């Protein structure tokens, strides 16, 4: 009975997540060991406790290893999700930038069209002004030539009269 109490003490020291109840076969082997002689009982008992500790230590290590693996898998899943979110954000951002560029281009072309119309009107007015200038220049040249003829005619008359 003392060994059973020691075993309970051993299991009480383990973390709650690694506690397990002994299997039916282990209880029977412990009871059989209690009926053996003292020497063999001490030897069997220490082997049995060592086996239990190794089994329990192994399952505890396996449990920690399993949890670590689950954490790594969860971390990788989160990283994958983050990457997908960034890819989605980049795609949406690219679409928005492309959309905004298209809107800006359309606005530029609208402004170009308005400016072109205004420039066309101004060029037409300039063309008319230049045409009027050419006409006036031609008329002025004709008037200048007429005045030159008149002056020549007056000079001839003044010389002829003396």
Can you give the pLDDT at residue 106?
A: 97
- In a 10 Å sphere around its CB, with 0-12 CB exposed, 13-18 middle and 19+ buried, how is residue 65 labelled? exposed
Going from N- to C-terminal start, the domains of the chain cover 2-160
Can you give the pLDDT at residue 4?
A: 43
Q: Is the confidence at residue 42, as pLDDT, over 50?
A: no
Higher pLDDT, 55 or 16: 55
- Residue 139's CB is within 10 A of a number of other CB atoms, namely 10
Question: In the 3-class helix/strand/coil scheme, how is the chain assigned residue by residue?
Answer: CHHHHHHHHHHHHCCHHHCCCCCHHHHHHHHHHHCCCHHHHHHHHHHHHHHHHHHHHHHHHHHHHHHHHHHHHHHHHHHHHHHHHHHHHHHHHHHHHHHHHHHHHHHHHHHHHHHHHHHHHHHHHHHHHHHHHHHHHHHHHHHHHHHHHHHHHHHHHHHHCC
Q: What is the mean pLDDT of the chain?
A: 77
Can you give the pLDDT at residue 157?
A: 74
pLDDT category of residue 152 using cuts at 50, 70 and 90: confident
Q: Is the confidence at residue 7, as pLDDT, over 90?
A: no
Q: Is the confidence at residue 113, as pLDDT, over 60?
A: yes
Q: Is the confidence at residue 23, as pLDDT, over 90?
A: no
């Amino acid at each position: 009975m003392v060994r059973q109490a020691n075993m309970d003490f051993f299991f009480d020291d383990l973390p709650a997540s690694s506690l397990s109840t002994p299997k039916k076969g282990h209880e029977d082997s412990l009871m059989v060991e209690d009926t053996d002689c003292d020497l063999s009982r001490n030897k069997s008992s220490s082997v049995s406790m060592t086996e239990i500790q190794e089994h329990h230590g192994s399952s505890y290590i396996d449990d920690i290893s399993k949890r670590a693996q689950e954490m790594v898998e969860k971390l990788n899943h989160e990283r994958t999700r983050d990457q997908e979110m960034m890819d989605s954000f980049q795609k949406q951002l690219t679409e928005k930038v492309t959309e905004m560029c298209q809107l800006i281009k359309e606005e530029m072309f609208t402004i170009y069209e308005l400016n072109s119309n205004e420039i066309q009107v101004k060029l037409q007015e300039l063309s008319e002004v230049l045409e009027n200038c050419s006409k006036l220049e031609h008329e002025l040249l004709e008037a200048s030539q007429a005045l030159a003829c008149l002056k020549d005619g007056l000079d001839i008359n003044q010389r002829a009269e003396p």
